[in-house]
Homo-oligomer: A and B are copies of this chain.
Amino acid sequence: MMRNIKLTIEYDGARYLGWQRLGNSDKTIQGKIEHVLKQMTGEEIEIIGSGRTDAGTHAHGQVANFKSNTAMDPKEIIEFVNRYLPRDIVVKMVEDVPERFHARYNAVGKKYSYYVWNESIPTAFERNYSFQFPQQLDIDLMNEACQKLIGKHDFIGFSALKKTKKSTVRTIDELSIEREGQLLHFTFVGDGFLYKMVRIIMGTLLEIGSGKRSITTIDDIFEQKVRSEAGETVPAQGLFLDEVYY
């Protein structure tokens, strides 16, 4: 009987070209997982991710599903894949789900984290998991900027999308900043995020916090809907896909 199997996946993206399989390249997360599932099942497997992550971006809780006739139970599957996957990709959970479950179409929200190393001296351990930004930051002002971003808006000006006919209206439910020593932890929760939206918002927040731009530019970007108004895109290495909501 054809099963529909859901995977919850953790990965350190530092060595990879991102989530999405690229031809026969071995350097994508999707490619690595499909390769092991093909070995396991003897079937042609295609996994559907909740969304792509860019080169260097990490995940604590990426979700994907695939169809298979395998007779292995979830415990056997998790043991097999984690034995054969590279050590920087780990399947944390395997569940049978209803036939119609689709990791991308059924996602109703996502949680991302972005980490900033806010010190002039670099970090050996967080080097692949944060973006070093040594300037002093006005956290109160950045929190004010977060309040302007929370809610339902057209985020086209904060995305790297070309013109699109699809809606670019999204709702951000949470955008918060927490200091953990020299590390600043930004949390984003929303119903969906446009291409590079988290990283462009992050760049804009850092420019506001360091005095390079005024907090009112957020209103301007919402009004003018042009990406060129927003801040730089920060590097992918500080970004984590923490959770996908269904």
Contact = CB atoms under 8 A, between A and B. Distances in A.
Interface of A: 10-12, 58, 78, 82, 87-92, 121-125, 127, 129
Nearest to A121: B92
How many identical subunits does the complex contain? 2
A17 B90 CA distance: 27
Contacts of A11: 124
Contacts of A78: 121
B12 A124 contact: yes
A242 to B, nearest CB: 12
Nearest to A88: B124
Contacts of A88: 124, 127
B92 A12 contact: no
Contacts of A127: 12, 87-88
Nearest to A78: B121
Nearest to A90: B124
